[in-house]
Structure 1
Amino acid sequence: MSLLSAFLQVLFDRMARPEFLNLFRNRTTDDDLLRKLKRNLHTIGAVLDDAENKEIRNQSVKKWLEELHDTFYQAEDLLDRINTETLRIKIETEYQSTTSTWKSDKFLRKIMSEIETIVEDLEGYIEQINPLGLQVIQSRIQSHQQYETPLVDETAIFGRDADKEKIIQMLLSEDANGDNIIVVLIVGMGRLGKTTLARIVYKDLRVEVSFPTRAWVSISEEYDATRITKELLRELDISFVDSDNLSSLQWKLRAGLTEKKFLLVLDDVWNSNYNQWDNLRSPFYGGSRGSKIIVTTWDQNVARMMAKERSIYHLDLIAEEDCRSLFKKHAFENRDANENAELELIGNKIVKKCGGLPLAVKTVAGILHSRTTPEEWEEILISEEWTQMDNQNGPIPALRLSYIHLPSHLKRCFAYCAVFPKDYQFRKEGIIQLWQANDLLGYPGEEKRFEKKGEKCFHELIMRSLFHQSTDHTFSMHDLVNDFDRLQFYHLFYY
């Protein structure tokens, strides 16, 4: 249900289109009803943020939102039909000297009766606003509309210098037993920054020099040896015939790795089936001595199955001091340090609630980056969302807070990304084009505004840690963020 405020903006955008307005021009009675529809939608929209905050704890508010959801969909269907009618009129005007006025009149008579029903339904919801205790929340949207964020430097990590050096030592050291291939496991609970740490190690100059042949593949939940092998071949720039014959693909990979010192990264491995791992790694044995494989996983069973105990590196929570440094970088960037004393005190209390999890720290810092008053920071500190924090769900409260405090147009853009599978790599230009094609940035005829607005949306989602940079040119969502995004759609369509 938390997408309703974003969904409402879609209705406003469609009602603002010139074609829509022209259809009702010079029809005074109809125009009055439309103004009433807009007024009712605006009244409800003003309290939606508050309602979405309270629906988890208040069943009456939750029921109000569920019923409102159906009415909004009726309104969207109605506006779709109006847009179809405006398109018909436009085509007839272009190819005929006259248009069928009687068709438009008949259509409008029918549609206005439906609009009247929706207006009456909305008035019923408005009558429940005060009894439900819903209030208007304005500052949250205003604080983001005038803010344009810079791209976050994903290579800056805090509290992981010692971890980085130890892993690099494990990669550069020779195995005393003479094994050709050594698997180095980075294991730890979700959201600790295993992938970020592996990426920093992977890009270190010492590692680049020591391993001329390198490749990175994201594994995730859906284990598919054929897909993994193909991605390794592409990463290593080894030509192959694109087929599903795993055996032939593995022969190609083995030939490409023979007598080469390589470093492979298998990121986010879930599969603990030894036979499948043994089959996947068979092409790797062609590499020269000193070749390494980095594997990241949250599962101790996967770690023990894939590597010897001495090659397993257990990643811990980052220290509170490092959490504060990470928070300050993302929350206070481009601000005068002298202005931050009071906010820092509140920020330190917020950092404690993040429990040493980097993703939680960055996500909350992203919310506060554009907020300048102690009152706004206190609002985050005392939020009831923190009561959901535990060792299992980690930064879920931080993600929830970040999502709640997004303006409606950003909620739409973020929610659209739920269609992407885990570890999907996308380019900034591509995602902006998809947002535009799905009517999330405006309406036709404003292409220049699309690009500028899309850039702002993209950068804001990066600042919130809802997107992160995967390579120099591609971006993705953390698995947890992807799960959270899909959850929003689940609530929207199934509750």
Structure 2
Amino acid sequence: MAQGAFIEVVEEVIGKTGNLADQTGLSSRVKDELERFRMRVSAIKRVVPVPDAEENQAVPLFGTWLRRLKDAVYVADNLLEEFSNEVSRRDQMTQNKEAKKVCISFPKLNQLAFDLKMGHNIKAIRKRLVAIANDKNRPFLLEASPRETQVEDWERRTRSFVRSEEVIGRENDKKAIIGILLDPNVEVLPIVGSGGLGKTTLAKLVFNDEEIRNHFEIRLWVCDCFNFDIKIIVQKILKSAKGEIKEALEMNTLIDDLHQEIDGRRYLLVLDDVWNEDYEKWNSLKGVLQRAARGSRILVTAQNEKVASITQTIKPYFLRELSPHYSWLLFERHAFEEGEEPDFIIKEIGMKIVKCIEVPLAIRTIGGLLYSKRSVKEWSSFMNNELLMISQGENILRILKLSYNHLSSHLK
């Protein structure tokens, strides 16, 4: 997420906290926690980097710090939304005559328990923010020198960017694919695998590798190739090359512009998430790209083996699940604080969970869901109830739906 959007979330959190602190009916203890939390978030806002600072994630340790900060603020936003909804519900119950009768008869103990729980959660997230703010890596923020950056340029740089140190267990796959792309007999290489395995991430690792950078004169990244409209594909290639798109141009003009960019140059073109099974469309695109230098390559990511069969010049590279070792390392990164040694029983439960979800996207998603849960009871409940709804090999959408169910209403 761009920094501008993140700043807006921070400001929303500050506003929600202030509004809640002004509500009547809350205990002084909860109000004190809200005020402490508001002051902490306000202090955090003053050290959040400028809008172009996403680029500074290349600075060692900076990206990890910023990711931890964002995760904590989003958790806080969801928590405050839940609290706000409960306070609003109480107000509506009080104002409605019929509902008021129910409200009066309803035990006050439930409201008190909810307030205490929220006060405890707010205190916990505040302590988490304090720990992040005091992290020894925070000074990297102050070393980053601000530069003016256009939004289009930022999108063009980051959509194909991935921090290699954030990727776990794909180094051998990366080396194998680079070796294939540098083979003189290869023109097109498809990477095939089910959704969530990390095909796009792997393609980004290859795309940004130093050896690939040095070998190819121009690197082009095109995503969202679902409809495979040739004109749209050419427009996206030009946007990747030049950072701009001119939708009003005729096809012949677009092709002329493309030829000016690739004529006599050795390129690597990544077509990410291709679903086209029409050979004629594929052949038409290859015809448009013929003006480039010998040794140009096309790297395709696809879930469907039939897609690969019409694009390939060699056997596809089939991406497999992570090994149990790397699956755990990935889960550990997303489920726990950096350097945290989890409770033995929680770790044992986590290892059982990981055995059920070898797909990287599922591992990251479920690890993120469990990040805010710290008790053995919560982890056991998740494993014995929600995890049972997920079976290995099912569509990744089931995992994402689980993540969706945990979002607050406004985020849904």
**Which TM-score applies when normalising by structure 1?**
0.53
Say which of 276, 280, 283 aligns to 1:278: 283
Shift of residue 226 of structure 1? 2.2
SS of the residue corresponding to residue 242 of structure 2 reads coil
Shift of residue 352 of structure 1? 1.3
In the alignment, is the contact (CA less than 8 A) between 1:216 and 1:264 conserved in 2?
A: yes
Say which of 296, 307, 311 aligns to 1:306: 311
| Residue 373 (structure 1) aligns with | 375
Change (3 A) 1:292 1:125: farther
| Residue 120 (structure 1) aligns with | 98
In the alignment, is the contact (CA less than 8 A) between 1:357 and 1:395 conserved in 2?
A: no
Say which of 352, 356, 378 aligns to 2:355: 352
Gap regions ≥5 residues in structure 1: 1-8, 22-33, 39-71, 80-113, 130-134, 416-487, 489-495
User: What letter is aligned with 1:256?
Assistant: E
Change (3 A) 1:330 1:15: closer
State yes or no: 1:219 paired with 2:224: yes
Change (3 A) 1:128 1:196: farther
Change (3 A) 1:348 1:390: closer
Shift of residue 298 of structure 1? 0.4
State yes or no: 1:193 paired with 2:198: yes
Q: For residues 111-162 of structure 1, what are the alpha-carbon distances to aligned partners after superposition, in whole Å with 9 as ceiling and x for unaligned?
A: xxx9987453576699899xxxxx9694795555654479995652222222
Change (3 A) 1:235 1:155: farther
Shift of residue 174 of structure 1? 0.8
> What is the CA–CA distance in structure 2 between the aligned matches of 1:167 and 1:326, rounded to whole Å?
22
Change (3 A) 1:138 1:15: closer
Say which of 191, 210, 235 aligns to 2:240: 235
User: What letter is aligned with 1:163?
Assistant: D
| Residue 60 (structure 1) aligns with | none
Shift of residue 253 of structure 1? 0.6
> What is the CA–CA distance in structure 1 between the aligned matches of 2:333 and 2:94, rounded to whole Å?
52
Please show how residues 7-26 of structure 1 align to structure 2 within 5 Å.
16=19
| Residue 175 (structure 2) aligns with | 165
Shift of residue 319 of structure 1? 1.6
> What is the CA–CA distance in structure 2 between the aligned matches of 1:126 and 1:269, rounded to whole Å?
59
Shift of residue 340 of structure 1? 4.2
Please show how residues 53-68 of structure 1 align to structure 2 within 5 Å.
none
Q: Tell which has more relative contact order, 1 or 2 (C-alpha 8 A, sep 6+).
A: 1
| Residue 295 (structure 1) aligns with | 300
Say which of 158, 161, 166 aligns to 1:156: 166
Change (3 A) 1:351 1:385: closer
> What is the CA–CA distance in structure 2 between the aligned matches of 1:249 and 1:205, rounded to whole Å?
30
* CA RMSD, 1 decimal: 4.1
| Residue 343 (structure 1) aligns with | 346
Shift of residue 336 of structure 1? 3.9
> What is the CA–CA distance in structure 1 between the aligned matches of 2:338 and 2:379, rounded to whole Å?
18
> What is the CA–CA distance in structure 1 between the aligned matches of 2:103 and 2:303, rounded to whole Å?
46
> What is the CA–CA distance in structure 2 between the aligned matches of 1:271 and 1:123, rounded to whole Å?
61
Q: Between the two proteins, what is the percent identity of the paired residues?
A: 29
> What is the CA–CA distance in structure 2 between the aligned matches of 1:194 and 1:202, rounded to whole Å?
12
| Residue 384 (structure 2) aligns with | 382
**Which TM-score applies when normalising by structure 2?**
0.62
Shift of residue 204 of structure 1? 0.7
Shift of residue 316 of structure 1? 1.4
State yes or no: 1:259 paired with 2:237: no
Please show how residues 335-484 of structure 1 align to structure 2 within 5 Å.
335-337=339-341, 339-354=342-357, 356-394=358-396, 396-397=398-399, 399-406=400-407, 408=408, 412=410, 415=411
State yes or no: 1:326 paired with 2:330: yes
> What is the CA–CA distance in structure 1 between the aligned matches of 2:336 and 2:243, rounded to whole Å?
45
> What is the CA–CA distance in structure 1 between the aligned matches of 2:243 and 2:371, rounded to whole Å?
44
| Residue 24 (structure 1) aligns with | none
Rg larger for: 1
> What is the CA–CA distance in structure 1 between the aligned matches of 2:348 and 2:295, rounded to whole Å?
49
User: What letter is aligned with 2:348?
Assistant: L
SS of the residue corresponding to residue 191 of structure 2 reads strand
> What is the CA–CA distance in structure 1 between the aligned matches of 2:179 and 2:284, rounded to whole Å?
28
> What is the CA–CA distance in structure 2 between the aligned matches of 1:318 and 1:362, rounded to whole Å?
12
Change (3 A) 1:188 1:126: farther
> What is the CA–CA distance in structure 1 between the aligned matches of 2:322 and 2:198, rounded to whole Å?
10
Shift of residue 306 of structure 1? 1.0
Matched positions, count: 305
> What is the CA–CA distance in structure 2 between the aligned matches of 1:193 and 1:274, rounded to whole Å?
26
SS of the residue corresponding to residue 173 of structure 1 reads coil
> What is the CA–CA distance in structure 1 between the aligned matches of 2:326 and 2:189, rounded to whole Å?
25
Q: For residues 35-88 of structure 1, what are the alpha-carbon distances to aligned partners after superposition, in whole Å with 9 as ceiling and x for unaligned?
A: 79x9xxxxxxxxxxxxxxxxxxxxxxxxxxxxxxxxx9xx99xx9xxxxxxxxx
> What is the CA–CA distance in structure 2 between the aligned matches of 1:374 and 1:361, rounded to whole Å?
19
Shift of residue 285 of structure 1? 0.8
In the alignment, is the contact (CA less than 8 A) between 1:259 and 1:287 conserved in 2?
A: yes
> What is the CA–CA distance in structure 1 between the aligned matches of 2:209 and 2:320, rounded to whole Å?
21
> What is the CA–CA distance in structure 2 between the aligned matches of 1:121 and 1:322, rounded to whole Å?
54
> What is the CA–CA distance in structure 2 between the aligned matches of 1:302 and 1:194, rounded to whole Å?
14
